[in-house]
Structure 1
Amino acid sequence: MLDAGKILVNTLMRSMRIPSVAALILVLALPAVAHDIPADVRVNAFVKPEGQRLRLLVRVPLKAMREVDFPRRGAGFLDLARADASLRNAATLWIADNVDLYEGDVRLAHPRVAEARVSLESDKSFASYEQALAHVTGPRLPDNMELYWEQGLLDVLFDYPIGSDRSDFSIRPRLERLGLRTTVVLRFLPDAGVVRAFDLHGDPGLVRLAPRWHQAAWRFVESGFFHILEGTDHLLFLLCLVIPFRKFGQLVLLVTAFTVAHSITLIASAYNLGPDALWFPPLIETLIAISILYMAIENVLGSNVGRRWLITFGFGLVHGFAFSFALRETLQFAGSHLLTSLLSFNLGVELGQLLVLVLLVPALEILFRFLVAERLGTVILSVLVGHTAWHWMTERADRLSKFPWPVLDASQLAVAVRWLMGVLILAGLAWFARGAFRQRARRRQHQSTLLPK
């Protein structure tokens, strides 16, 4: 009986070891599998409608297609003489099955693989559509070339049937599985001489290659709305801005000043009227941290709405540049509607800002009415925000210090002069508006003293 018990125990132990050993082997094997996934994969693609067909030219590194068994010979060289079937299989499995093309709102049928061939990594034919098409339809590499499969590129020409080359086309490239970080450099050629370039990362969703104005507008309204909600520094600036000024008239004045200011620099920067040097974005980030810190300090020391709206206008110019940095990658989706997209992005920012204020102002009222005295609460909140802004400022200033300061040449000096003139004009308008505001306030005060008590 005792021996039977020992046998049972040993059997159970062995049965438990088998899954454990298998799990250990699987865990040890995972790094090797992950190592086979390329870190960075660049895909080049052209989309061109021609008559009743749409042509998609794609170049992908062979090493990104890990589940395809390419024929080899000798010391692991790609057997080009027998590779055609596996190349077409890879083109279908990794590209055609993961690229959705639409004519209007209708998804196009599965394409025909017109050509598929291997190219060298040194080949530069995908610099233009004409060169790429001539290369893909031209002579192949010689069959006796000694080329390791990981060092080759797969060039594919797909043909899609379409109703008309004047239709609106969209694409959704789902190629993120090719590598840990996948970039698709896509060029759309709707007409002769017209090229619209896209730089897409991961899964960008549906991309309209030639959007209508309302499609571009909606995309940018959405982008601006979520940008302001996801920007912690912008939200903290708004918080510091309105902590001591929560009356409707004060909010209208401050928010209008901020909106007008950031709209000016946002649009100017989008039209390449701002500096494009590497040191400029970290400078703006540092100034944004300073703007939050200044507002927090002013809240602690005391402020008045007459001075606050002028300061808000100045800092709004800085925040507008930051908005433009976030907008740069998105502008590729504007098509031919640049100004519409800019105004729509700005509208989205204002809608997000309005939502924040609608939630923030009542929350502050409740806080100061039921939980803490207004003055004490203002100091506590401002100190907390200022502490965060101080750390941001020092970290960003440290990054900024690593950039070499530019030597002004004639073109940079001209840009600086233009911006200085613009700032002086804006300062003059602000001074005039401030004077008008003060005069109006004095008239109201004078009229109130004349009223019978």
Structure 2
Amino acid sequence: MRFLLLLIAAFFAATPAVADEIRPFSVEFSEQSDGYWTLDWKQPVSALNGTEIILPELPTSCAVEGDPVVRTVNLAYIGHAKVLCEGDIAGETIALPQLLGGADALVRVLPLEEPVQTYRLTASESSARIVAQPGTMQVFWTYLVIGAEHILLGWDHLLFVIALVLLVQRGWAVVKAATAFTVAHSITLVASTLGYAGLPQGPVEALIALSIIFLAVELTKAGSETWTRRWPWIVAFAFGLLHGFGFAGALREIGLPEGEVPAALLAFNVGVEAGQLLVIAAVLVLRAAIQRLVPKAEAPALKFTTYAIGITAAYWLVDRVIS
């Protein structure tokens, strides 16, 4: 029992205060005229090696003209440089070998009158080969991974899904609630990303935290047949609309590749759903294991988890309201 509680405590202790933001290292390499390019990059604090400013490594046929211009904005360095390239850069590489640990980077290459190329770099795969003609699957795979990472590392969405599964419990009811949440956040994600709807990101983030608190309070009413317990799919759908605006805000920060917006949107949403299904399956399996192996531990573990979720969400709510 003590070991179980320690595991749960360690999980929530690792939860970051900034929960819903995707802040990868982003790079945009854009051709302005024949041979003349601009390099723009955003380097978040989490990707820094101390206070070192990282300059992406360009194709060997390219050289930076003059000194790059770097400024600091919202815990990130924003860099800009003019670049001169000789000949075609297809077949050459662009790289960020300085990436550390779990840091990643989204790189966009924009040749003149050619489709945008999108690459995801990591510490283990820190370079990408620029192709002459990118395929749709390249974009699809990149944004699918980003979507899956967002639900698995976006702690507020993660805690909402966990609380929802703990509240509903039953298999078929969990499927209906999860489906309602999926349909709802898909609607607002697409509508917001395409410009048909939108809400200010600050209030959205605060309301997402409030939605988690709501589910945590419902979890404390064990044995009570509340409206939420009777109709969980309605609550999941309503809050799913709200969470969709949160997903859209994260996707706006990353950016969508021109000419491949439908594929990127679909892939991001599929990635989110894949991550969500993994979370649901893990929670159901863990709870079933506790019920089978240490049934007396279920009630105190559930109580501890409920209060941990509620306290974490309450902290996010206060932090997001006052910041």
TM range (shorter): 0.5 to 0.7
State the match for 1:326 in structure 2: 250
* Displacement after TM superposition at 1:376 (Å): 5.2
CA distance in structure 2 between the aligned counterparts of 1:184 and 1:243, rounded to whole angstroms: 35
State the match for 2:322 in structure 1: 398
CA shift in 2, pair 1:337/1:390, >3 Å: same
Asked if the contact 2:160/2:212 (under 8 Å) is kept, the reply is: yes
CA distance in structure 2 between the aligned counterparts of 1:320 and 1:360, rounded to whole angstroms: 22
* Displacement after TM superposition at 1:375 (Å): 5.2
Q: Does 1:111 align with 2:61?
A: yes
TM-score, normalised by the number of residues in structure 1: 0.49
* Displacement after TM superposition at 1:358 (Å): 1.5
Picking from 270, 274, 289, the partner of 1:351 is: 274
Asked if the contact 2:151/2:158 (under 8 Å) is kept, the reply is: yes
CA distance in structure 1 between the aligned counterparts of 2:152 and 2:231, rounded to whole angstroms: 27
Asked if the contact 1:245/1:251 (under 8 Å) is kept, the reply is: yes
Instruction: Select the structure with the greater relative contact order (CA < 8 A; seq sep ≥ 6).
Output: 2
State the match for 2:151 in structure 1: 228
Q: Secondary structure at the match of 1:244?
A: helix
Q: Which amino acid in 1 is paired with 2:156?
A: D
CA distance in structure 2 between the aligned counterparts of 1:291 and 1:188, rounded to whole angstroms: 40
Matched ranges for 1:28-67 at <5 A: 46-47=30-31, 55-57=35-37
Asked if the contact 1:189/1:195 (under 8 Å) is kept, the reply is: yes
* Displacement after TM superposition at 1:243 (Å): 0.8
Instruction: For structure 1, list consecutive stretches of 5 or more residues without a partner in the other structure.
Output: 1-42, 61-93, 101-109, 122-152, 163-167, 178-182, 400-453
Q: Which amino acid in 2 is paired with 1:286?
A: A
CA distance in structure 2 between the aligned counterparts of 1:384 and 1:154, rounded to whole angstroms: 46
* Displacement after TM superposition at 1:170 (Å): 7.2
Picking from 39, 47, 58, the partner of 1:99 is: 58
String of CA shifts for 1:124-167, please: whole Å, max 9, x gaps: xxxxxxxxxxxxxxxxxxxxxxxxxxxxx9865321357xxxxx
Q: Which amino acid in 2 is paired with 1:283?
A: P
CA distance in structure 2 between the aligned counterparts of 1:233 and 1:314, rounded to whole angstroms: 16
Q: Does 1:265 align with 2:224?
A: no
Picking from 191, 199, 205, the partner of 1:285 is: 205
State the match for 2:17 in structure 1: none
* Displacement after TM superposition at 1:173 (Å): 4.7
CA distance in structure 2 between the aligned counterparts of 1:316 and 1:397, rounded to whole angstroms: 21
* Displacement after TM superposition at 1:390 (Å): 1.4
CA distance in structure 1 between the aligned counterparts of 2:135 and 2:127, rounded to whole angstroms: 17
Q: Secondary structure at the match of 2:87?
A: strand
* Displacement after TM superposition at 1:258 (Å): 0.4
CA distance in structure 2 between the aligned counterparts of 1:378 and 1:396, rounded to whole angstroms: 27
String of CA shifts for 1:144-196, please: whole Å, max 9, x gaps: xxxxxxxxx9865321357xxxxx7775154979xxxxx999873432xx796
TM-score, normalised by the number of residues in structure 2: 0.66
CA distance in structure 1 between the aligned counterparts of 2:235 and 2:168, rounded to whole angstroms: 14
Using the aligned pairs only, state the percent identity. Answer: 29
Question: What is the root-mean-square deviation in Å for CA atoms of aligned residues?
Answer: 4.2
* Displacement after TM superposition at 1:197 (Å): 10
Q: Does 1:366 align with 2:305?
A: no
* Displacement after TM superposition at 1:352 (Å): 0.6
State the match for 1:172 in structure 2: 94
CA distance in structure 2 between the aligned counterparts of 1:324 and 1:158, rounded to whole angstroms: 35
CA shift in 2, pair 1:309/1:197, >3 Å: same
Q: Does 1:217 align with 2:201?
A: no
More helix by share: 1
Instruction: For structure 2, list consecutive stretches of 5 or more residues without a partner in the other structure.
Output: 1-26, 41-53, 70-79, 100-104
Asked if the contact 1:216/1:335 (under 8 Å) is kept, the reply is: no
CA distance in structure 2 between the aligned counterparts of 1:300 and 1:266, rounded to whole angstroms: 31
CA shift in 2, pair 1:269/1:175, >3 Å: same
State the match for 1:300 in structure 2: 220
Question: How many residue pairs align between the two structures?
Answer: 262
Q: Secondary structure at the match of 1:160?
A: coil
CA shift in 2, pair 1:221/1:207, >3 Å: farther
CA shift in 2, pair 1:242/1:157, >3 Å: closer
Q: Secondary structure at the match of 1:273?
A: coil
Q: Secondary structure at the match of 2:234?
A: helix
Q: Does 1:254 align with 2:177?
A: yes
* Displacement after TM superposition at 1:372 (Å): 3.1
State the match for 1:381 in structure 2: 305
CA distance in structure 2 between the aligned counterparts of 1:337 and 1:324, rounded to whole angstroms: 16
Asked if the contact 1:293/1:385 (under 8 Å) is kept, the reply is: yes
* Displacement after TM superposition at 1:234 (Å): 1.2
CA distance in structure 1 between the aligned counterparts of 2:300 and 2:244, rounded to whole angstroms: 32
String of CA shifts for 1:89-127, please: whole Å, max 9, x gaps: xxxxx99x9313xxxxxxxxx4387xx9769x9xxxxxx
State the match for 2:46 in structure 1: none
Q: Does 1:340 align with 2:288?
A: no
Bigger-Rg structure (1/2): 1
CA distance in structure 2 between the aligned counterparts of 1:343 and 1:374, rounded to whole angstroms: 38
CA distance in structure 2 between the aligned counterparts of 1:44 and 1:362, rounded to whole angstroms: 42
CA shift in 2, pair 1:169/1:298, >3 Å: farther
